[in-house]
Amino acid sequence: MDASSWLGALAAWAAAHPSMLLLLAAAVPAVCILLAGITGRLRSLPPAPEATAPPPEVVAPAAAPRPAGLRDRLRLTSEALVGRLGSLLGARRVDPAALEDLEALLLGADLGVRTAEALLETVRREASGGDLAEVRRVLREAILARLRRVQPQAASATSAKPHVVLVLGVNGSGKTTTIGKLAARYVSAGRRVLLGAGDTFRAAATPQLQVWGERVGCEVIAGTQGGDPAAVAFDTLKAAVARGADVAIIDTAGRLQTQRPLMEELAKIARVIGREVPGAPHETLLVLDANTGQNAISQAKLFTQAARVTGLVLTKLDGTAKGGVIVGLADEFGIPVRYVGLGESVDDLRDFDAAEFVDALFGE
Ligand SMILES: Nc1nc2c(ncn2[C@@H]2O[C@H](COP(=O)(O)OP(=O)(O)OP(=O)(O)O)[C@@H](O)[C@H]2O)c(=O)[nH]1
Ligand SMILES: [Mg+2]
């Protein structure tokens, strides 16, 4: 068959099947685009490794999941404070414009205005003209110096028997959960612990503490709902002395400051505790929810006026980008940060360690 006969046959087929012709007309450009895409993509691929390239890594089976480390738990705060530095400065050197951007970043990282400005001033003084690495180094050192000031000097003294811990904080800050975790730590260190359900305000408060007591293996002394929290504190210490407990931890209601004058209420509890066990409370822990950011600073102001707070507990650091408030708290109050809360389970309460904390923040 010659070329003209082929063409004739094709024309006859096309006349008999017009819809197939339409289909072909639509398909040809699509195939062309597809081919062009594939060749373009092939061209943009990196060149094949040369014969001297190292052999590919052996793909190992996934390791068993490890409990999340401090770095994982502080991820959001780390991103807000340090992670954004890279995109903010890039390859720029520290000049007035870069400092302005840095100021916005620091103010947005919940450090508190005073602390943010002080850190900015340190960068201006020590890293002007420097690059990203220099700014990171200067900030890291300045933050570490601040947090070192609130690193507890030694583990909480337990020479007094019972060692009495009073726990304060606003509603929902994590007091009861912290008490449960803390009790677990004392129990696993071989101490006999008694808990006092001093939150007589909220109906579910006592059962919540009792659940922790059962879980951890320690007794809970409870009062009546709406009763006097100082009376519960009194009963708890009486029982602690009578039973030879090593540690007594007393919960309080989070609504204290709105229900009755905070000063009077806390002063009364502390007075009763001190009368029953001389020198008690040996520790007064203020629990602050890191999620509340700058509000944690005003809470600390209020509570430190009302009670002799000896240590802070910063909770919920695992789910917030506002953990930078710890630096502001350190700057403003200088009260030791005794513990940090990194989750809801029993082993999620850690001793605060400034160096470890800063390493985690700076992803090291
Ligand atoms: N993610 C996370 N959640 C926490 C942490 N600490 C406490 N929580 C949760 O915060 C919520 C409130 O905790 P509570 O211990 O009941 O707080 P509280 O201060 O006793 O509250 P009130 O008794 O109402 O004043 C609970 O759901 C806890 O599980 C923490 O470190 N991380
Ligand atoms: Mg509670």
Which ligand is closest to the CA of 291, given by its number?
1
Do residues 286 and 311 make contact, with C-beta atoms less than 8 angstroms apart?
Answer: yes
Structure tokens at 78: 């780390």
Q: How far apart are CA 347 and CA 135, in angstroms?
A: 35
Q: How far is the CA of 98 from the centre of ligand 1 (A)?
A: 39
**Type of residue at 328:** G
Q: Residues lining ligand 1, judged by CB closer than 6 Å?
A: 169, 171-177, 199, 202, 205, 254, 315-316, 318-319, 341-344, 348
Alpha-carbon distances of 131 from 30, 84, 124, 280, 363, rounded to whole Å:
50, 14, 12, 52, 18
Number of helical H runs and strand E runs in the chain: 16, 8
Choose among 127, 110, 34, 27: nearest CA to 76.
110
- Give just the sign of the alpha carbon dihedral 56, 58, 61, 66: negative
128-165 in b/e form (b: 16+ CB < 10 A) is eebebebbbebbbebbbebbeebbbeeebeeeebbbbb
Task: Please identify every residue whose CB atom is under 5 Å from ligand 2, which is an ion.
Answer: 175-176
Q: How far is the CA of 289 from the centre of ligand 1 (A)?
A: 8
Do residues 252 and 269 make contact, with C-beta atoms less than 8 angstroms apart?
Answer: yes
pLDDT value for 42: 36
Structure tokens at 352: 């605060």
Q: What is the largest CA-CA distance in the chain?
A: 118
Q: How far is the CA of 174 from the centre of ligand 2 (A)?
A: 7
Q: How far apart are CA 134 and CA 136, in angstroms?
A: 5
Nearest CA to ligand 1 atom 14: 174
Q: How far apart are CA 307 and CA 250, in angstroms?
A: 14
Nearest CA to ligand 1 atom 10: 174
pLDDT, tens digit only, all 364 positions of the chain:
554 555 455 555 555 555 554 444 444 444 434 444 444 443 333 333 344 444 333 333 333 344 468 999 999 999 999 999 998 998 899 999 999 999 999 999 999 999 999 999 999 999 999 999 999 999 999 999 999 999 998 755 567 899 999 999 999 999 999 999 999 999 999 999 999 999 998 889 999 999 999 999 999 999 998 899 999 999 999 999 999 999 999 999 987 666 667 778 888 999 999 999 999 999 999 999 999 999 999 999 989 988 999 999 999 999 999 999 999 999 999 999 999 999 999 999 999 999 999 999 998 7
Q: How far is the CA of 94 from the centre of ligand 2 (A)?
A: 47
Q: How far apart are CA 149 and CA 144, in angstroms?
A: 9
For the CA of 173, the closest atom of ligand 1 is 19
Q: How far is the CA of 11 from the centre of ligand 1 (A)?
A: 81
pTM for the model? 0.82
Residue 309 DSSP SS3 = coil
Which ligand is closest to the CA of 178, given by its number?
1
Structure tokens at 351: 């001793």
Q: How far is the CA of 174 from the centre of ligand 1 (A)?
A: 3
DSSP 147: H
Nearest CA to ligand 1 atom 6: 174
